[in-house]
């Protein structure tokens, strides 16, 4: 076992006392040793640590709270996403959590969020589990010297204790799990859930609060950079192909999920990747496949107990199977984590209704509209009770992590487009020729890649466009490597009347959803679907 590093004095500011061993800034090998000895997981055939997270295999949005304090009350977009909790209840839960931790071993990681040092925030993560400490070690930016560790003063501290369960009727929360952000105290507590994504997204939520105050646009997106230094952003919800399409052999990956855009360019907020594994194959996603090795953490993937081979096609635990690994596990990566102002911004959607154009160009106002809308569709069977394709709108492609009103983030996007002249496109990676399960088929990945390449190389700047009257989108008449008929969803449907009906129905869903954004400029509202 490793040498014990005690940092009890450093934890006194957290009022955490009476613990057993505190292991601080342990390397991955030691954390893996501890996790195996403690029975937290097993190694697979390639050496990755495989864990099961139990009841919670994804984020628990109904259990996320922000402490309502006078200093932040007027800033937060309160509602079903940013639910308030009183300081009294926060202190009650935190007191119980501290009592629970007495006599237990703890794991501490000191790291950073933000590759641009000017806007970097220092985080301390305190974990009950060695495996979760491995996760955040690989996810955040890591100190590169002993001096950085010795001089680390956290701006925010995240304490993740999955073994501690809340009592809803006593604690003023909704279940045994609670994710509570105390912005005034620079403290986040996570109770009851072993799903490591709660730690990652708590950090992102904090950054989404802090960065706009500094004029930085925080983004839930992936980013890459070409050989000529031209960077690109890829926004999209789960299942739209964000990770797959940004992992381009001809472009270096800057990061796969969270970035900031300032006056100098873009920067990765993280130092790792957290990729979905469901139906993963070496042929389609070789970068992720090869990253599942010693040092990676795999969550909720079925493993053969004898051979230790992972079955990525088995969703018995969840569709949301995941792997976490540092960015340098990818060969083609920009290790600095920074890039130039993006020449191209791509919004990805997987339209299961089969009516959105495969690619369209957006005006500044159209970009703000579709950014705020954050549309994709759930498929039948992927969630309990979903029997038909279902429209999903997630504000700014990251609603669960945005403390501020949507208009603030949209305003930042508009300012960046105005200042740096980025071209913005909406790319549908979903269905064509009909809806999912009703005669439609998913647009083939090589065709989507061809359209993305045309967005990136600028060739779509030199083609003729036509206006889609229902969705109010500019659709190219030609795109290199793509049959012309594919570009028009109406032409791909045999029954034109059914297409009109389905398209107008989705356009109406867009308009109904946008009504909740009461403080949006009229020109942004007018850039949305017309339904005519």
Q: Catalytic residue positions?
A: 59, 201, 220, 238, 242-243, 257, 322
The separation between the first and the last C-alpha atoms of the chain, rounded to the nearest angstrom, is 68
The one-character DSSP state at 47 is S
Residue 60 CA to residue 461 CA, distance in Å, equals 42
What does the radius of gyration of the chain's CA atoms come to, in whole angstroms?
A: 23
Q: Which two tokens stand for residue 200?
A: 């990652």
Task: Supply angle C-alpha 376, 492, 239, rounded to 5.
Answer: 20
- DSSP 3-state assignment of 443? coil
Q: Where are the beta strands (DSSP E) in 333-453?
A: 338-339, 342-349, 359-362, 375-378, 390-393, 423-428, 431-432, 441-442
Secondary structure of 229-269 as H, E, C letters: CCEEEEEECCCCCHHHHHCCCCCEEEECCEEEECCCCEEEC
Measured at the CA of 286, the angle between CA 280 and CA 292, to 5 degrees, comes to 70
Pairing of strands 258-261, 302-303: unpaired
Closest of 259, 322, 336, 264 to residue 291, by C-alpha? 322
DSSP for 303-345, please give it.
E-TTT--EETT--SS-S--EEEEEGGGSSSB-TT-EEPSEEEE
Q: What are phi and psi of 264, to 5 degrees?
A: -105, -20
Q: Does residue 61 contact residue 197 with C-beta atoms inside 8 Å? A: no
Rounded Cα gap, residues 375 and 366, in angstroms: 13
Task: Decide: 357 and 427 in contact? Cβ < 8 Å.
Answer: no
Q: What's the rounded Cα separation, in Å, for the pair 103 and 188? A: 22
Contact 160, 128 (CB under 8 A): yes
C-alpha span between 235 and 261 (Å, rounded): 13
CA–CA gap between residue 13 and residue 15 (Å, rounded)? 5
Taking the CA atoms of residue 23, residue 24, residue 28 and residue 33 in that order, the dihedral angle to the nearest 10 degrees is -10
Name the pairing type of β-strands 64-67 and 266-268: unpaired
Q: What is the DSSP string of 52-64?
A: --TT-SS--GGGE
């Amino acid at each position: 076992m490793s040498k014990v590093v005690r940092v009890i004095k450093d934890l006194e500011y957290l009022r955490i006392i009476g613990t057993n061993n505190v292991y601080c800034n342990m390397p991955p090998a030691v954390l893996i040793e501890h996790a195996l000895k403690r029975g937290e997981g097993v190694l697979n055939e390639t050496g990755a640590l495989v864990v099961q997270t139990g009841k919670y295999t994804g984020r628990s949005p109904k259990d996320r709270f922000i402490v309502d304090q006078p200093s932040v009350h007027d800033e937060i977009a309160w509602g079903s996403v940013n639910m308030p909790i009183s300081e009294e209840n926060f202190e009650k839960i935190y007191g119980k959590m501290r009592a629970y931790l007495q006599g237990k071993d703890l794991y501490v990681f000191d790291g950073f969020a933000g590759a641009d040092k000017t806007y970097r925030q220092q985080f301390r993560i305190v974990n009950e589990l060695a495996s979760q400490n491995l996760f955040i070690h690989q996810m955040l930016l890591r100190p590169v010297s002993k001096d950085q560790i010795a001089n680390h003063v956290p701006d925010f501290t995240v304490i993740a204790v999955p073994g501690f369960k809340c009592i809803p009727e006593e604690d003023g929360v909704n279940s045994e799990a609670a994710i509570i952000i105390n912005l005034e105290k620079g403290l986040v507590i996570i109770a009851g859930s072993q799903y490591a994504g709660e730690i990652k997204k708590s950090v992102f939520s904090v950054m989404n609060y802090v960065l706009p105050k500094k004029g930085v646009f925080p983004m839930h997106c992936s980013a890459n950079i070409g050989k000529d230094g031209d960077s690109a952003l890829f926004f999209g919800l789960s299942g739209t192909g964000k990770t797959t399409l940004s992992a381009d052999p001809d472009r270096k990956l800057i990061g796969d999920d969270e970035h900031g855009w300032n006056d100098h360019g873009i920067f990765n907020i993280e130092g790792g990747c957290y990729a979905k594994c469901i139906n993963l194959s070496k042929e389609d996603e070789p970068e992720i496949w090869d990253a599942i090795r010693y040092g990676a953490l795999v969550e909720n993937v079925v493993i053969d107990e004898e051979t230790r081979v992972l079955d990525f096609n088995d969703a018995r635990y969840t569709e949301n199977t995941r792997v976490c690994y540092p960015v340098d596990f990818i060969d083609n990566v920009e290790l600095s984590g920074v890039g130039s102002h993006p020449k191209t911004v791509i919004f990805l959607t997987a339209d299961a209704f089969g009516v959105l154009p495969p690619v369209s160009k957006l005006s500044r106002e159209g970009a703000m509209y579709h950014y705020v809308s954050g549309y994709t569709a759930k498929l039948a069977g992927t969630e309990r009770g979903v029997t038909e394709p279902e429209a999903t709108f997630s504000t700014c492609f990251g609603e669960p992590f945005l403390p501020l009103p949507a208009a603030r983030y949209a305003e930042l996007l508009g300012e960046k487009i105005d200042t740096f002249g980025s071209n913005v496109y909406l790319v549908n990676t979903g269905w064509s020729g009909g809806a999912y399960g009703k005669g439609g088929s998913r647009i083939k990945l090589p065709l989507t890649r061809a359209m993305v390449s045309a967005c990136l190389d600028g060739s779509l700047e030199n083609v003729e466009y036509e206006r889609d009257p229902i969705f109010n989108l500019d659709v190219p008449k030609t795109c290199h490597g793509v049959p012309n008929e594919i570009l028009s969803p109406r032409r791909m449907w045999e029954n034109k009347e059914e297409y009109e009906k389905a398209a107008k129905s989705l356009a109406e869903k867009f308009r109904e959803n946008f009504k909740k954004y009461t403080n949006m400029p009229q020109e942004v509202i007018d850039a949305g679907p017309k339904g005519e």
